[in-house]
Structure 1
Amino acid sequence: MLHRRHLITSIALSASALALPAVSLAQPAATTRIVVPFAAGGPIDVTARILAEAVKGTLGTVIIDNRPGAGGNIGVSAAAKAAPDGLTLGIATTASHGINPWLFSKLPYDPAKDFSAVTQMLRVPNVLVMNADAAQRLNINSLTDLIAYAKANPGKLNYGSGGNGSAGHLAGEMFKNQARIFALHIPYNGGNPAQLGLLSGQVDFNFDNLATAAPNIRSGKLKPLAVTTAQRVAAMPEVPPVADTLPGFEIDTWWGLVVPAGTPADTVRKLNAAFTEALRSPEVKTRFAALMAEPAPSTPEQFEAFMARERSKYERMVKISGAKVD
């Protein structure tokens, strides 16, 4: 009996010993991070956090790494220089991968060569808005009215933007070019000061982000004349596109996910599958809709081609505007 107890104990101890290496060698699940090139609290940061939460069931822990500064160039450069192992993603934006290559004489990254596309995340419409009091005073009720007034009163209109080379500035220059009108550009130090300038009557119209402009549109302080997307938007279906008056006019705000160049193709596909599934989920659609944002899941190839087209479009627009940042 005693011998049998010793045998059982020996077997148990041997089994425990065999199990120990497996426990001691087990590795914790890898953490994925998304480098957001702007400060916490903004729309890009908020949407990135929504997605990080939505993919945790597939990818595990996903953290947000905010790297603001230099108009987004610091964070984008950090993402480009990360290891190409699929554990670091960056956010590509209209500015970083569309405008900045032509606006800056030198960038710390190459938007075409330093990244592989994963998926576009979303698109946010922009809207041409006027100060409501100014629109009433000048009897401007539509985009056609604005163009007609500008042609009949050359040099009397101005428009504001968040600064030279900003999306609002370039949209304004594209509008002037296609409508064959003149309006003086008034650059502000950021989107919020530009909107305050419009609300106070310092400028006559702006091209603003719909999410930012919506509260003042609903309160009656701003009058929307047209959205800059090719089609009407669900949030304000009564507002026509600029393209209805100026065919081919299309400009909106977008951002998406990229990884460092050299990331294995199968890893990119895995990330694409996880994030596009999340972007199609009802919960993400609902949360994005509250920000006036439309999910835009895509294949890596589609997003790569889209960014190339955007670079080509903004190259022309930056040249028209004459904007430069050195």
Structure 2
Amino acid sequence: MQLFRRAFTVLAFASAPFAFAQNYPSAPITMVVPFAAGSGTDAVARIVAKRLGERLRQPVLVDNKAGASAQIGAQFVAKARPDGYTLFMTTNTSHSANPGLFANLKYDPVKDFTPIARVGELPFAVVVDSKFPARSMKELIDHAKANPGKLSYATPNSTSLVASETIRRIAGIDLLGVPYKSSPQALTDLMGGQVQMYVADLGSSMSMIKAGSVRALAVTTQRPVKSLPGVPPVADAVKGFDLTSWNGVFGPAGMPRPVVEKLDAELRQVLAEKEVQEQLAQLGFEVWPSSGPDDFAKYVADQLAHWTSLIKQAGIRQE
């Protein structure tokens, strides 16, 4: 009898996660975004969250916890219960760049999170004000070399900082970085002449590019972006430039595997829908899902190593 009870207890515990997954979700889900409303990641999150909620038959509510280069949102999610009701849509800022940029980071991008699914790539573009004389990356570099120390760039996030500093290092130009709290603020000052260059996410800058308010000189991806025909990659003019701005969904560490797999499967179904792809394409976002949580976990680890190397090569000092 004692042996039977022990076997029953083991079986009950083993099956508990699966029973939980079958009933999941039974309440609204919060999707934390570590950037301000109006940012590219926020726009992507709202499109994905709406359709994911429809598929799961529970609302998926976007919660913006911006600040400190995505650290505030990351710390919040890292401390949340790993029950699948707190998700984190974030980017390379929190999980690839911050460990190399901040000496006293209060979260571990690997140990404190459960990778669920890569969503895709939100390309960034080197943009200047429409009245700025440069019409290409080569002309921008030539202008900077002719005016050493007189040009500045906006940096409201880690991608902008690392991309700008990598361009500065490889091209051998003298630029001054100016920190900002948000992409919209940086774009406003770019058009106002307070800064001359900004490596901006297409989610927040695409409408201004299409309107002609700012001019896109190059994209940070290794290949041209469909939504910006005729705009070449930075690497065409800055040899050796290799920087990917990825976007993905995590949860706190310790999430039940069946819940992770259910969320991954539903997210992949969402991203396969033509309507969702078209909505994301309007932001310049390129859907690029992982083939599973393990594949995404490996990608995150590889990108962490790559960005750490980029930061060291650029000579960026930790804060």
Please, what TM-score do these two structures have when normalized by structure 1? 0.79
Q: Which amino acid aligns with 2:49?
A: A
Asked if the contact 2:122/2:246 (under 8 Å) is kept, the reply is yes
Quote the residue 2:5 is aligned against: none
**Structure 1: which 5+ runs fail to align?**
1-26
Name 2:194's counterpart in structure 1: 202
Specify the SS of the correspondent of 1:263. coil
* Equivalences, count: 293
How far apart, in 2, do the equivalents of 1:57 and 1:156 lie?
A: 52
Q: 1:273-314 CA distances to partner (integer Å, 9 max, x unpaired)?
A: 111111111121122122221222112123222222322233
* 1:108-257 pair list within 5 angstroms: 108-135=106-133, 140-151=134-145, 153=146, 155=148, 157-163=150-156, 166-257=158-249
Segments of structure 2 that go 5 or more residues without pairing to the other structure are 1-22
Decide whether aligned partners of structure 1 residues 239 and 33 sit closer, same or farther in structure 2, where only a CA change above 3 A counts. Answer: same
Structure number with bigger Rg: 1
Q: Percent identity?
A: 33
Structure-2 residue corresponding to 1:101 = 99
Q: Deviations over 1:212-231 (max 9, x none)?
A: 33333333332221111111
Separation in 2 of the partners of 1:103 and 1:123?
21
| Distance (whole Å) between structure 2 residues aligned to residue 28 and residue 77 of structure 1 | 24
| Structure 2 length-normalised TM | 0.81
1:154 Cα shift? 5.2
Distance 1:157 1:250, change over 3 A: farther
| 1:44-80 alpha-carbon deviations (Å, 9 max, x no partner) | 3443333233234542313325251443333322322
- Amino acid in the other structure paired with 1:242: V
Superposed CA deviations along residues 20-51 of structure 1, whole A, max 9, x for unmatched, are: xxxxxxx9961251331345554434433332
1:19 alignment counterpart: none
Could you list the per-position Cα deviations for residues 75-109 of structure 1 after superposition, in whole angstroms to 9, with x for gaps in the alignment? 32232233333343222322211222222222332
In the alignment, does 2:309 pair up with 1:313? no
Letter in 2 for 1:256: G
Give the conservation status (yes or no) of the 8 Å contact 2:129–2:214.
yes
What letter corresponds to residue 31 of structure 1 in structure 2?
A
Q: Distance in 1 between matches of 2:113 and 2:311?
A: 23
What letter matches 1:266 in structure 2?
A: P
Pairing of 1:40-55 with structure 2 (within 5 A) = 40=37, 42-55=39-52
C-alpha distance in 1, partners of 2:207/2:60?
31
Indicate the RMSD between aligned Cα atoms, in angstroms: 2.6
2:25 equivalent to 1:33: no
How far apart are the structure 2 equivalents of 1:276 and 1:220? Answer: 35
Give the secondary structure class of the aligned counterpart of 1:226: strand
Contact 1:35 1:79 survives alignment (8 Å): no
Moved more, 267-276 or 72-81: 72-81
Q: Would the aligned equivalents of 2:136 and 2:217 in 1 still touch at CA under 8 Å? A: yes
Task: Please give the per-residue CA displacement for 1:186-234, whole angstroms capped at 9, x wherever unaligned.
Answer: 3344333322232122333221122333333333332221111111001
